Amino acid sequence: MGRSRFSEDRLIGILNEQEAGQKTADVCRRHGIGEATISIGRAGQGVLQVSELGG
């Protein structure tokens, strides 16, 4: 697997925005990422919820 473009902190921030109820498409457009990035980010967090990681 290649190196991520986003630091873990930035990805958690992006996931928190989406988790807070904002539409995935809006969050993706604002950060210039694809919806797959959010899916990969969620999968990369394992069984922990984003809020448990200190976001």
Segment 1-7 mean pLDDT: 69
CA 27, CA 32: separation in Å to the nearest integer?
A: 8
Q: What is the DSSP string of 15-48?
A: HHHHHTT--HHHHHHHHT--HHHHHHHHHHTTTS
Q: Domain ranges in the chain?
A: 8-48
Local confidence band at 53 (pLDDT 50, 70, 90 cut-offs) = low
pTM for the full predicted model: 0.65
pLDDT in tens, 12-50: 888 889 889 899 899 999 999 888 888 877 777 654 455
